[in-house]
Every structure is written in C-alpha cells, then in structure tokens.
A and B are shown apart, each in its own frame.
Chain A
Amino acid sequence: MTEPVKSKRITVTVDGTEYTRTVEARTLLVRFIREELDHTGTHFGCDTGHCGSCSVLVDGKVVKSCMMLAIQADQAQITTVQGLAFQDGSLDPIQQAFSDHHAVQCGFCTPGMLMATEYLLSQNPHPTEEEIRRGIKGNLCRCTGYVNIVRAIQALGAQEEVIS
C-alpha cells in the first residue's frame, strides 16, 4: 500500500489572479484563502457549515469554502467578495443595493451574503421574496433580522438587468 498523499501542489485563480501553492491535504479552502493568500475579506464563523460567512463562487457556483478542501479547488476559478467591485473601485450593483438599503451592519456576514446573492441572481434574476429567503437561508446574519437584506435583493430583482 502506498502512503496517502499529505500535500499537493495546486493552481487556483482567485479574483483574477492565478496562484500556485503546495498545500496540506487537510487545509480547508477558507483557510487557504485567508491564511495562505491573505484574502481576509472571506470570513469564517462556524465549524459546521451553517453560517455561510465563508461563501465564495467556485467556477460560478456558490460554495461554503469551509466545506471544501483547498486541493479540491485545484484548477478552479474562484471569486470572493474582494473580486466583486468594478475595476475602478466602484461598487457593483449588488454591493450598492446592500448599501442603499442598509443591509450591512457589522459587515461580518456581508461577504458571504453578497456571494450568495450573486449566485441567486445569476440563477434567478427576478426572485420572489420566498425564493430570496430560500436563496440566502444558508447565510446567517445576527444583526439585521434579514429584513433589509431581503429588501436589497428584492430591489435588485425588480431591476431589468442585474449583473453586467
């Protein structure tokens, strides 16, 4: 029997930049992003995959990055909250709607909430309230009672074109 592989060299693209690193096989993607790449915009808030503050897009799908190993993301395209704003630094429409509707208080759930919203609207550009609530049910927010988050997404859903 051969020894199991304990580490592996991976290449991932995070927010448009390609990185190649050797990582321990057990390293969670969230820790890779935060500790190895120092992209601290992606947060973590639990150890059971419930809070969603670590949500990122992996090849266009929303993933809780604490529920995936970094080595599983080899060759993937990852978008984090730090890749949302426009090149010139201005807020993208989802970020702007969260600000306009005061859907951000402490801002700790926000990165994950934005990524969940991004994915929801990419799948369903005009969601109903119920669909919005289902879309973000895996993301906990303890500050807002979700009211203004739902309102921000409703406003986005009411727009013609959301994601450019």
Chain B
Amino acid sequence: MSTTVTKPRTALWSGQSIPRKEDERLLKGQGRFADDIRRHHEAYVHLLRSPYGHARILSVDVSAAEMAPGVITTLTGREVHALQKPFIEIAPAPGGAIEDYCLAVDKVRFMGEPVVAILAETAEMARDAADLVQIDYEPLEAVVQAEDAVREDAPRLHEQVGSNVVWHGVYDYGSIDAAKQAADRIVKIDRLHFHRFTSTPIECNAGLVEYDPGSGEYTFWCNNTMPQFAAMFMGPALDIPTDRLHFVTQDIGGSFGNKITTYIYLTICAILAKKSGRPVRWTEFRTDHILGGSHGNERTFLDIVVPVLNDGTILGIEARAIDDAGAYPRYEPLGAVIWSQVVSGVYQFRNVKVDYTQVVTNKCPVGPNRGYSRMQHLWMVERIIDIVAHELNLDAVAIRKKNYIKPEQMPYETPNGCVYDSGDYPGSLDAALKLIRYEYWQDRKQSTRGSGKLIGIGIGSTLDSGTNNFGQARIINPDLPFSGNGEVSNVKLDLYGEVVVTIGTTPQGQGHETTAAQVVADILGLNPDQVRVLVGHDNRRNVYTGFSGTYASQFAVTGLGAVRGASLKLKEELVTLAAALLEADPDEVMLRGGTALVDGDEGRSIPFIGLANIVFANNAMMPPSLDVSLNCTYTYRPPFQLPDVERKQGNLTLTYASQIHACVVEVDEETGETKILEYACVDDSGALIHPKIVEGQVHGAAGLGIGAALYESLDYDAEGQMLSPNFFAYKAVTALDVPMMKTAAIESPSPFSPNGAKGMGEGGGAPLHAVCSALQDVMHQSSRALVVDSFNPSERVYRLLHQDEHAPRGVQVISKPS
C-alpha cells in the first residue's frame, strides 16, 4: 500500500500498524463468540418458520410437540400477543401503525418469519419436536415488487395501515426547475434498480438468554451490535425498565450492520427464559439467517431527469425512489433520510429533488448493511454520470473531473447543509487510474475489439459518511427524541496499577482493542502491551450511551474520542497525584513506561502501582487536598445541532471518508462472463490510527461489493418464495472471485474530529459503481445498452450485449433550442 501522508506524525503509537491485540486468541481458537457461551442447565430453541410469503394462520396446534421427548415448553404467536407489546415503530403514521411481534400473530408476511418456538433439552430434540407442530395456513396473494406494492389494488401486508407505504417524503434542494431551464440538454432515464443482497457475516446471529426472577433482570450473551438500540425496542415490548436488560457481547464474527436488528429473536428467547426458568440458547443456521436475518435495502429509481450543459456539467438530479423495506420496517425508515447525508455524492451539482417512498413487501425485513442507504443513492448518481457521458459521447474521466468537488472547496457545504470535512477526489481518481494502468488498458481496449472479448474501464466513488447526527431521525418523525451522537469510555488504574480500558462498542473485526490501546499508550506514556482493553459491550460496566455499538463508521471518531478524553482525565489525575507525592510541580511530572517521574530529576519517581496503592489500599497517605479516583469516564459528543426538519436540512454526519475505485473488466461476448482484470481502491479516511486495519477494511468492503456486483442476489419468486436461502444458492464470493486489488491511501485529516481521523469501513458500494461503470463502457463499444441494474451476473451481461438495437433503451436526450 502506498500511503501519501499529508501530516507529520507526532504520536508514537497512533499511526503505526502494530500487531493486533486480538490476534493471538483468535488464531488459537480461543476467541469467545456468542455460540461458545455455555450456562449450567441451558436449553435450546428451535424456531419453526413460515413456508409462505403471505398467509393467514388459521390454527396452530403444539400439543403433540409439547409431549415429545425433551421438550420443555413452546411459544406461539397468540401467546406472544398476550405477553408482549408490539415493538415501537420509528415511522410516524401511516407506517407507525404497523404492529410487529417477535412471533407471527394470525398472519405471516414473509417466508422464514418465525411462527412457533420450541424449547428442549437438546437442539436435536427441539428440532424433532418441530415436526409434530400442526399449522394451518391460508395462502394469500403476495406482493413482492416495490413498484407493485404502491398500487392502490395491491394486496396489503398490514391491513390497519391502509396501504403498503411506510413513509413518504420529498427532498427538494436548490431549484431543479431552474436547472432544467438553464440546461442545454435534459437526459431522462426511465428506471434504475438497486438489488437486494446482504453481507452474511460468517458467524450467524446467536444469543444465550437468562432470566433472574429475583431481580427481574435478563442477561443477553449475544452478538447484537447496537445493544442499547435493541433495549429501546425490548424494554417497552416486555414492559420492563430497560435497565433490566443486561447485554454482554464478546468476540463477534462480523456484522456489517446485519446484527443490529436481532432484538426480535432476543425477545423470543427472553420470553422463553422467563417462562421456562432455564437459560435459553439460540443460534441460527445459515438458512435461518438468510431467510429471516436482515437484508440490504432494495431501491428502484424512476423517471430520472438530469439537466446538463453541453460540456458535461451536471446541474442537478430529479428522481422518484421506491425503497423496499421487506415485511416490517424495524430499523426503517431511517434509511429514508440516511441517504441524504450524501445527496450530491462527490459532485458539485446543487439542484436535487427526490420523491422518496418506502414500502413493505412480502420479503425478509431489511436492516443496515455496509454502506447502508447511501450506496443505493450513490450508485444511482454514478450510473447517471456514466449514462450522461455515454449519451453525450463524453469521456468518463473528464466528466467526473469536471463535476467533482475540488479539494480547495473543502470544507464543502452540500445543498442540504451537510459539511464535507476534507478530501481530494480528483487526486484520488488520478491515483486509482495509475494503479489500474489506465493508459495501457485504454490502448488494449481498442486492440481487443473483434477478438470475442471486450474490455471495459470503470470508475466508482463513494462517500463513507461517519458519525451520524441522530437528529436526522426527526426528518423522518419529528416526535423522535433523538439528536447528536456519542460514545463513552472508562480508563482507570486497577488496584495494582494495571491500565484498563472499557468502551461501549461492539467490535466485529475492526481491532478496537488495538487502536484504543494505541491512543491510551500515547497519552499515558505506555507501550500498548501495557494497556488492557476489555472485550465488547457490557452495560453492567456502566459505560454506554443510547448510541453505543459499532455501526455507521464512527469508532475512530466517537469511540477513540471517548478513549482519548478518558485517558486525558486519568493522565491529569496521575500527574496531580504524583506531583503531590513527589513534591514537584505538575508541569514537571511526566509519565513514561508506567512510572510518573520528575522531568530532569528522574530519581524522583513513583510507578503506577504505587499511585494505585495510595488511592485504593493506602489512602491514609493520600495528600489531603486531593480528590482523585484514578477511575475516569468520558463521554465524547460530536458538535451537532438539530437539523431543520421542515426543509430537511442540516449537518447530518461529522466526517466523510471517500473512496475512489477503478477497475478493468473483460467480458466474453459469447457467454457474458465478466472477469475483473485490475482493481484499485484509493481510500481517504483522514488521519490513520492503524493503517493496516484501515486497509483491511478497504479490502473487505471492496470484496463484499464485488460479490454484490457480480454474484450475490437475494431473489424471491412472485409468491414470495425465497430462491437463495443458503450458501448453495446465495453465492457468497470466494477467493477465486476477488482479484488481488491494489490500494492506496490519501490522508486528508478531518478538521472536525478530535484526532483528524474519519470513520470508515463502509466503502462497500464502490465496486457496484465501478463494475457497472466498466460494463457500461463495454456496452458503449457494442449494443449501446444501458446498465440499469446493480446486479450483473453473466446472463444479464449477455442479454445486454445482445440487446436488439431497436429495443427501447430506457434513455432519452432532449436537446433544448439554444
């Protein structure tokens, strides 16, 4: 990786790729994941799931199952209806009227929806007993396509809502009408479709849930990645104060956002744990996970209008977006505002009008998925750029450079009041083109034509907006009591001087233990090996906010911001205490290698164990005027204001990491098979705390994006039958599918974060943009078809290559009389 450093380093440990603290246990099989937890007398859950996409439940008979060997108890939707209040809905009316329970009550709305839970002495016994449950269904007509769901006569999923619409709103910035007036030409695109896929972490969802009748407390040993968000749903649903919900996370085997909405399943386990008096163990199989876990948002863009000048300047974008939330909104409709963090992408156009509708369909509910809600929009923007270039016969690189926001415009305020903190998009593009050997492939493109293969070059950009201002939720529902963001950390000396760090986050491979130790080590004058960072989230440790967790690209800012604040507090206490004991001025005291010493007179020193001793075990020796605890907690709070809800404007996120990807593909004209020949990612995540971890995130995001572009799609038939419910049918990318990508980093420090870092990890969309762009380049040399879907397996590429030249192309260019 070639790193362009734009800021000299002052820290000793931050900025270095030190060995990860997590590695040893993970490499030895000593990691502790949710399914590795064991409790005495535990029992096992098996969930019986709906085989239908949409059906009425006529009857459920669990009597035979309850008599089966080893069965402890069962749970049905009717019982849940009596024991649970519907989960809160984020949407206001109409979507707010949806009633969501942990098991289906009276009706199933997606294939895989849990209907009956069985608890037994072993997992096998629970599964055997499931065969004895009798359920009568009356199948109903399913609605599977979002565009059908909005029709007046469409079957309704939630009758009480009156339609399938969860949320609708119009985002209108600048003046699209004025832009149309000013344009030389108007490019109209009929329809673009962003497909449904998901990141499928290799560790499925799991939990072990205990109920303590004495205290009324539930403990969830689980891999949920936003526990206090889960608590917000579960407390009211179970009708208990949220402090009775004790979440413990440990090692987590990937999440990519997918493990945020597991509160549904944890609620089933909680009810069973109370009912049975047994610790309840639940682990998904992959089929459970794909059928009923969490899918990425599918979005259809219709009637796209793009006013442009003849030189390729894009003046704005108008579109209708229909987002498909699946059967229940759950985390949604937050995605209906989150895309607007990147309303104009990396481009300068300032007139945007998007009419946004979110609907329910008979498919698995969606949830955040790496690049959540922004990649759908950015994909549309990048498709528009390539289609405009294609239709106007402009160069795909030149049109981007013309329209990119320039580094000298940073910080840049977008049309909706978001502030891009820093970045160098043209510089990143140049670096990416160099990595893929752009000139060489431009030549090869010509010489390859006629050989049965075609070469295409593609470019894609993403903005990984990090550290949300949760105030944006009010744009969806003004009554929501959220705004800002924050994370908490505690840094303390333990009784014998050990430095122990606690954070509210739920890392899943991002190396929080390592990077937190780097930050603490720099501040307290230690080696990172001398810093112990506790694994995962545990609300008994009392270190969390409502936002705690690991999602939405924020740890480097909020998590490390909190660690930094707590370390600085501890440092001050250590220095003050040492100064008093050593009879020195605090300004003279420095911390080095676990000892406080007087600068220039190093014989006067006291080790951390001595300082800890005074405070925790020997406090008659405490200097009387001092009040130190050596136990310091700090909440980092980014500087946010409430957005303007009426105008849907405001600063919605703090940092904007950027990724420019470029690729070269080769398409076989006879089969449509697409092979990636070159792939490059140029990432700008601001100041880097641990360059290797950041690069690893870039690789991972790109790998998932390449999978989504060419191999991975969650498909349903017209009846709502899921066609890809396991890894046999859902083709998660293998080592053979992902090329040896090249990476480079540009560091444009964020002026807004405490350490210049930007949140990162979600550049997952960029390969979808880059691969589609390369395929568009291929089509430009052949059928002139438009690439209108984000998913392009061989058969679709083949059809595009051989599209009849008289077939409607789905695009129109209207020249205006000058």
Contact = CB atoms under 8 A, between A and B. Distances in A.
A37 interface: no
A85 B24 CA distance: 10
A48 B31 CA distance: 24
Which has the most chain B C-beta neighbours within 10 Å: A100, A102, A145, A146?
A145
A132 B20 contact: no
Given A85-B28, A107-B27, A99 B20 contact: yes
A48 B703 contact: no
Contacts of B511: 105
B200 interface: yes
Contact of A132 (B706, B728, B735): B735
Contacts of A38: 38
Nearest to A154: B740
Given A47-B726, A108-B254, A147-B703, 20 more contacts: A38-B38, A39-B29, A51-B202, A84-B27, A84-B29, A91-B27, A98-B27, A99-B23, A102-B20, A104-B509, A105-B511, A106-B202, A106-B509, A107-B26, A107-B509, A108-B251, A109-B253, A129-B740, A142-B703, A146-B699
A50 interface: yes
Given A48-B286, A114-B27, A137 B509 contact: no
B28 A82 contact: yes
A24 interface: yes
B644 interface: no
A12 interface: no
A40 interface: yes
22 contacts: A24-B124, A40-B32, A40-B35, A41-B29, A48-B726, A48-B728, A81-B28, A84-B27, A99-B20, A102-B20, A102-B695, A104-B22, A104-B27, A106-B509, A107-B22, A108-B201, A129-B740, A142-B254, A143-B700, A145-B701, A145-B702, A145-B738
B735 A102 contact: no
A19 B88 CA distance: 50
A108 B734 contact: no
Contacts of B33: 40, 43, 108
B807 interface: no
B496 interface: no
Interface residues of A, number: 55
Contacts of B252: 106
A110 interface: yes
Interface of B: 17, 19-20, 22-33, 35-36, 38, 124, 199-204, 251-254, 256, 285-287, 508-511, 692-693, 695-696, 699-704, 706, 726-728, 732-736, 738, 740-741
A77 B732 CA distance: 31
Contacts of A146: 699, 703, 734-735, 738
B709 to A, nearest CB: 13
Contacts of A26: 124
Nearest to A35: B123
Nearest to A101: B692
Interface in A33-66: 34, 38-43, 45-48, 50-51, 53
Nearest to B283: A44
Nearest to B704: A142
Contacts of A24: 124
Contacts of B256: 142
Contacts of A105: 254, 509-511, 696, 700
Interface string A8-43: 000000000000000010100000001000111111
A43 B203 contact: yes
Interface string A120-164: 000000000100111011111111111111100000000000000
Given A108-B202, A145-B699, A145-B741, A99 B287 contact: no
Contacts of B734: 133, 137-138, 140, 146
Contacts of B32: 40
A2 to B, nearest CB: 23
Closest 8 CB pairs of A and B: A41-B29, A145-B703, A108-B253, A107-B26, A105-B509, A106-B509, A50-B727, A81-B29
Nearest to A134: B736
A8 to B, nearest CB: 16
A146 to B, nearest CB: 4
A95 B28 contact: yes
B731 to A, nearest CB: 9
Nearest to B27: A95
A147 B732 contact: no
Contacts of B251: 106-108
Given A132-B735, A142-B202, A104 B23 contact: yes
A142 B201 contact: yes
A46 B288 CA distance: 10
Contacts of B200: 142
A111 B309 CA distance: 56
Contacts of A106: 26, 201-203, 251-254, 508-509
A82 B509 contact: no
Contacts of B286: 45-48, 51
B661 to A, nearest CB: 12
Contact of B24 (A48, A53, A91, A133): A91
Contacts of A139: 735
Given A106-B253, A129-B740, A40 B36 contact: yes
